[in-house]
Amino acid sequence: MAFKPDQELQAAIKSGWKPSDLRWERLQEKGNMRLEEDRFVSAALNFLIARILAGMFFQSTDLRFLTSQSNITFTLNRLGYRKMACRSYRKLVNRWKELGSFDHMDLEIKPRGRSSLFHVRMEALHWDQYRQNVTSRLQKFTEETGQCLDCFAREQEIPHRLFSRWKGEKYPIFDDTRKILGACLLIAGGR
Three-state secondary structure of 109-130? CCCCCCCCHHHHHHHHHCHHHH
Enumerate the H helices of the chain as residue ranges: 7-14, 19-36, 40-57, 63-78, 82-99, 117-125, 127-154, 163-169, 176-185
pLDDT bin (cut points 50, 70, 90) of residue 3 is low
- Higher pLDDT pick, 22 / 118: 22
- Higher pLDDT pick, 71 / 105: 71
Cα distances from 187 to residues 63, 69, 118, 153, in angstroms, run 11, 9, 38, 14
122 located within any domain: no
Write out the residue range of the structural domain in which residue 81 sits.
17-101+134-185
User: Would you state the pLDDT for residue 2?
Assistant: 53
Q: Taking Cα atoms as reference points, which of 103, 98, 93, 59 lies closest to residue 73?
A: 93
47 located within any domain: yes
User: Would you state the pLDDT for residue 111?
Assistant: 79
125 located within any domain: no
Q: What is the pLDDT of residues 107-157, one digit of tens each?
A: 888 877 666 788 778 877 888 888 888 999 999 999 999 999 999 999 999
Q: Torsions phi, psi of 19, nearest 5?
A: -55, -35
129 located within any domain: no
Return the number of other C-beta atoms located less than 10 Å from residue 98's C-beta.
10
12 located within any domain: no
Model pTM above 0.85: yes
Q: Give the distance, in angstroms, between the CA of residue 2 and the centroid of all CA atoms in the same chain.
A: 23
Mean pLDDT, the chain, rounded, equals 92
As for how many domains the chain has, the answer is: 1
114 located within any domain: no
What does DSSP assign to residue 173? S
In angstroms, the CA 122 to CA 18 distance is: 31
In angstroms, the CA 54 to CA 142 distance is: 19
Q: Is the pLDDT of residue 69 over 70?
A: yes
169 located within any domain: yes
6 located within any domain: no
